[in-house]
Chains A and B, each alone.
Chain A
Amino acid sequence: MTDLSRRKLLVTGLAATAGVAGLGVAARLAQKYGLVPPDHGGIYGLGETLTYATQRLLTKHSLAREFRRDQISKRPLANEMPPLTDAFKRLQSGGFADWRLTVTGLVDRPASFSLDQLKSYPYRSQITQLACEEGWSYIAEWIGTPLLHVLDAVGVQPQARYVVYFSMDPDWWESIDMADAMHPQTFLAYGMNGSDLPVGNGGPLRLRLPRQVGYKSVKFITHLTVTDNLKKFGDGKGSASADGGYAWYAGI
């Protein structure tokens, strides 16, 4: 073995050791600072973790783009209506007066809200884009109360890490981390373009998350729960979409 190749071997060995040690430290730090997504297992875990961690570091507080009123899409596309259940139709015929959003989990005062109660909270509107992971999109004015007002009202406990939210459609539930839950543009939306939110677009109540693609903005939500551990829900990957092979974090 020549001097040159010995040196090469030594340098390569040292670099490899440093690399492995570095990865170990990085993994521990990422876990500590909440940069590891719940669907980090499996062959795509590396890419998902890199994406989620980078987005958390770069975009934790950034605001989704808002548009001018004249940019609002003429017709907001109401896509793929799930078959409405009888229970939904009963509530619909009563003008959703009996619609309830229950809030449970790591909160001081679990509660149940009617739409009127939610409408009595401070309301905001945002003209943002809804983009589907399929590739299409539309812009609408979304009206609702920021989720953080409701979370403040029930008193989130300090160990909370995620908010899990459920649709009346039993196959659709999602979760977000506290950064997204407390984000000022994360809405419980009940209105669109100046009127009530149409059923086709998720009415009477949709969780609107403009910095992630459409499947995270769950339609017809009836229940949300605050938790420190997503393992208890479904297959433990954080959402129905992740259980079904779609990324839990959908900011891209």
Chain B
Amino acid sequence: MARLESAPVPLPACVPTSASAIPAATATPRHSALVRVTHWITTLCFFALLISGFEIVISHPRFYWGETGNVLTTPLFQLPIPASRSLVQTGYNYMLPDQNGWSRYLHFQTAWIAVLTGLLYLISGLFTGHFRKDLLPAKAHLSWRALSATIASHVRFARPGEAEAWSYNPLQRLSYLFVIFVLFPLVIWSGLAMSLAFVSAFPATVTLLGGEQSARTIHFFVSLAMLLFVLVHVVMICVAGFKRRMRAMITGAVTTRKEERP
């Protein structure tokens, strides 16, 4: 590891040595500008999709498996919440306001932005070696001993060492890879499988998932998994030092703890 600490970058000869503030600006950022921008666009998209998705779900908070499902068929399960439409018997004697119109508009528009942002991230990540360098864990770190040590320190909520200000730990790498290459593709796939027009052209999209209602149920659970990831992600950032990690993801700059608390 070459960059354990924020070693000052050698200055070109033409830069006056008195300008001591310059190195911070020209130093390699913790996260590239592209990673930072796509990270925050995806964050906004996630919350827009979460809210609009929830609004859509409350119009029929029952889930099924297979091709079809409605109030005349047996559900897989029903969420214990009131609904925004009268069709479902929820046990509550009131209905939530119906928000499906704007929720569907917002959900699909945001899905476009999220998918396009994801594509940009994916292509540039392959191009710059971001996945290989920053996310693929080293073989030595994948042994049970190494992994269980990392898990143990996470469970204790131990504050990570300075090295982690510059590089992800193996557990982080694995969970990010899982979100990027498993959860994201699955949520897009199961979402498209619910589009009647899309599956008319690509029927395997829905048949491989076991039917339209199965796709809806899968979409719901993958969204829950993503929500769980976001919650753990935020907790871990708080453990590691909220201000420093936020600064690294916003400006790219990394400060050591001593600099922060003189």
Contacts and interface: CB of A to CB of B under 8 A. Distances in A.
A212 B196 contact: yes
Contact of A75 (B72, B198, B203): B72
Q: Which of B56, B101, B196 has the most CB of A within 10 A?
A: B196
A138 B196 contact: no
B110 interface: yes
A134 B195 contact: no
Contacts of A136: 60, 62, 69-71, 87
Contacts of B104: 133, 246-247
A139 B198 contact: no
B196 A44 contact: no
Interface string A165-181: 00000000000000000
B17 interface: no
B52 to A, nearest CB: 11
Contacts of A133: 59, 100, 104
Contacts of A50: 109, 112
Contacts of A122: none
A252 B198 contact: yes
B200 A77 contact: no
Contacts of B216: 135
B126 interface: no
Interface residues of B, number: 40
A154 interface: no
A64 B112 CA distance: 23
A65 B86 contact: no
With most chain B CB atoms within 10 A of its CB, the pick from A55, A247, A252 is A252
Contacts of B110: 47
B212 A131 contact: yes
Nearest to B105: A44
A53 B216 CA distance: 24
Contact of A135 (B56, B102, B105): B56
A87 interface: no
Contact of A211 (B87, B113, B196, B206): B196
Most B Cβ at <10 Å: residue of A47, A48, A64, A136: A136
Given A47-B110, A65-B203, A58 B198 contact: yes
A245 B72 CA distance: 29
B143 interface: no
Contacts of A26: none
A44 B85 contact: no
A182 to B, nearest CB: 15
A131 B104 CA distance: 15
A47 B70 contact: no
Interface string B168-194: 000000000000000000000000001
Interface in B109-128: 109-113
Given A55-B197, A55-B198, 7 more contacts: A44-B109, A63-B200, A64-B196, A65-B203, A139-B68, A247-B104, A251-B197
Interface of B: 56-57, 59-60, 62, 67-73, 85-87, 100-102, 104-106, 108-113, 194-201, 203, 206, 212-213, 216
The 3 closest A-B pairs by CB, nearest first: A47-B109, A251-B197, A245-B101
Interface of A: 44, 46-48, 50-51, 55, 58-59, 62-65, 67, 71, 73-75, 77, 79-80, 129, 131-139, 210-213, 241, 244-247, 251-252
